[in-house]
Amino acid sequence: MKSLIQQLVETPGPSGFEYEIRDVIREGIGADADDVRVDALGNLIARKGEKTEQGLRVMVSAHIDEIGLMATHIDDNGFIRFTNIGGINPLTCYGGRVRFMDGTRGVIGMDGLERGKMPKLSDLFIDVGATSKAGCPVKVGDVCGFERPFIDLGKRMVAKSMDDRISAAIAIEVLKQLKSTPHEVHFVFSTQEEVGIRGATTAAFGVDPDVGFAIDVTRTGDTPRPGTKMAVALGDGPAIKVRDSSFIADPRLVDWMVKAAKEANIPYQLEVLEAGGTDGRAIQMTRAGVPAGCVSIACRYIHSPSEMVDTDDVENAVKLLVKLLGEPILLG
């Protein structure tokens, strides 16, 4: 999967500007879906399977947008001020490189700060090498993402948008490996998650699922002196979400997912994320309500230009989802 993962994480696509990454995903799906469509908010929805007497209409959602920056002002010397798209930490920005959607590249600089003062986004600017406002190729409203190459560390992989392209890669692989299912499965590659779970909200209303699953990254508690104590670590298996700050997973689904993992000897973790949300909320809250769960991938350094995941967790997430979607979903 690594070649696909590299292609996905290196393709730009901040929230609201997912057109390039959507094309890459469509190509990655190829002819393995029964049909593929794009809805009004830009979600790519690939259907596989026909619902049988034992089956349900299932939505599986992985968001394809990433955090980014939007130009708000260009000064007389061609330096670009910006605002955030999604959750951006100024500490991870300084000295970073960016790529605008038209291919323009730049580096993030910072105004002088008092010693000991924490930087704010308003202290930062983008330098694209321009010497004047007229000579700057960027205009107000242009969008960029961070530019960092994919790094293969063997068991570990690092990139600027593992959140949530790693889940898109997992969804594509599950779709390809799912040879038989009693369900009508709608794989949703959703937009604008980082700015309010918007794409999954409209997609869930349109799909109208009987049950749904999000796939997303989650934080870890396995680094030196982690800021938050958390029972999730890289390499210990996919995490079955119990709750996050946006939704509580259906307990019946959690129990069923745990049982399936045990039956297949797939390592797993239980996840309680105290801050953060996923497309699971949108699925759960659509129409009259939907039982929803989430498979999470442990990820270090989330919302930084160097997010890290474990290859075994990725492969085991594929195995777990193929098993879950290949069997009747038991909620009793």
Instruction: Dump pLDDT digits (tens) for 163-179.
Output: 999 999 999 999 999 99
In this prediction, residue 121 carries a pLDDT of 94
Tell me which amino acid residue 16 is: G
Residues serving a catalytic function are: 193
pLDDT at 59: 98
Average pLDDT over residues 179-196: 97
What pLDDT does residue 239 have? 98
- Residues 25-46 pLDDT 10s: 999 999 999 999 999 999 999 9
* Per-residue pLDDT, 117: 85
With CA atoms as reference, report the closest residue to 79 among 127, 122, 112, 121.
127
Residue 20 confidence (pLDDT): 97
307, 158 contact by CB (below 8 A): yes
Take residue 217 and report the two structure tokens written for it. Answer: 């990254």
Q: What angle do CA 120, 157, 1 make, to 5 degrees?
A: 130
Does this model's pTM top 0.85? My answer is yes
Strands (E), the chain: 35-38, 44-48, 57-63, 68-74, 80-85, 97-100, 105-110, 124-127, 143-146, 151-152, 156-159, 184-190, 211-218, 239-243, 269-272, 292-298, 307-310
pLDDT digits (tens, 9 = 90+) for 43-64: 999 999 999 999 999 999 999 9
For position 197, what pLDDT does the model report? Answer: 97
Q: What pLDDT, in 10s, does the model give residues 103-151?
A: 999 999 998 877 778 889 999 999 999 999 999 999 999 999 999 999 9
The answer to whether 130 and 88 are in contact (CB under 8 A) is no
**Domains annotated on the chain, with CATH:** 2-66+160-325 (3.40.630.10), 68-146 (2.40.30.40)
The helix (run of H) or strand (run of E) holding residue 65 is: none
Q: Which tens digit of pLDDT belongs to each residue from 276-332? A: 999 999 999 999 999 999 999 999 999 999 999 999 999 999 999 999 999 999 887
Judged by DSSP in three states, 228 sits in coil
Contact 18, 65 (CB under 8 A): yes
Query: 208-259, pLDDT tens digit by residue?
Result: 999 999 999 999 999 998 777 899 999 999 999 999 999 999 999 999 999 9
| 265 pLDDT above the threshold of 90 | yes
Average pLDDT over residues 254-273: 97
**What's the confidence (pLDDT) of residue 228?**
77
Q: What is the pLDDT of residue 319?
A: 98
